[in-house]
Structure 1
């Protein structure tokens, strides 16, 4: 006899964001002194477009990173697959009030997902942790 699963709860958006300008600063600092060579201009434009088109989302069921300049790439990780959450802030990121959140998971296609240069990273980390625990407990009860 097959088990009937309870209906899945509606997926709700918990947080959405984008990388801070701080993530673009290293490229800017390296390219601006050599802009007279004209080579850094396309590099600056590409990295600026990449920075502007990256979006992060945390929902009640999954995490999503959407990026891409000419084509669109969407990476998702189901929250119940999350193994570890790492918060890292370099000296410059700490001065600017941002951090990088790395999520390690059991997912085969995206074992590590990074939210780079996000504001309120500690809050996002705690919201993610709480949601992961809730989903694991729910999954444990179903199985």
Structure 2
């Protein structure tokens, strides 16, 4: 027996607008450092009768864990929410209602821009996540535009407006 209520006429079906992961390029220097340690272990193995070759396990493990953590973090932008799923063994799902998004900013540092990637930062009125950073995603401009449109649509649907109050005198701006 199902206890879920059917969607009402003013509650449209939620659809996915975008899904993605942080690019592994964001860890370039970390991976480069792991590679240098591995090369050092291989070179050292020639002088230590192969004993330092055991040290290859450390950079390899560092590389795999960082890669896995990044790969296990996913983002899904729907018409109503931004869902952030993370964790390797223990999964965590954080959902941000789009009508709570107050501001969004996109930046593309030179290194990421050369790779066609960018960062998206959200400022929200959500108590559990006032700042949300989506780092090193491809097509960041298109994602930002989809987010902007979805936020405005969701605010209109819920009839939500942002109210700015000046903290020094309590006047409404």
TM bracket, shorter-chain basis: 0.7 to 0.9
Shift of 1:112: 1.5
Listed as ranges, the gaps of 5+ residues in structure 2 are 1-7, 42-54, 161-173
Q: Aligned equivalents of 1:104 and 1:50: distance in 2?
A: 24
Name 2:63's counterpart in structure 1. Answer: 44
Residue in structure 2 matching 1:53, options 64, 72, 83: 72
Report how many aligned residue pairs link the two structures: 137
Residue in structure 1 matching 2:86, options 67, 82, 90: 67
Listed as ranges, the gaps of 5+ residues in structure 1 are none
Which of 1 and 2 has greater Rg? 2
Answering whether residue 123 of structure 2 is matched by residue 120 of structure 1, we say no
Larger RCO: 1 or 2 (CA < 8 Å, sep 6+): 1
C-alpha offsets along residues 13-69 of structure 1, whole Å, 9 cap, x if unaligned? 011111222123222022211122443332211101112212111000000111111
Name 2:27's counterpart in structure 1. Answer: 24
Name 2:46's counterpart in structure 1. Answer: none
> SS in structure 2 opposite 1:24?
helix
Q: Aligned equivalents of 1:86 and 1:26: distance in 2?
A: 25
> TM-score scaled by structure 1?
0.87
Q: Aligned equivalents of 1:76 and 1:27: distance in 2?
A: 29
> SS in structure 1 opposite 2:159?
helix
> TM-score scaled by structure 2?
0.73
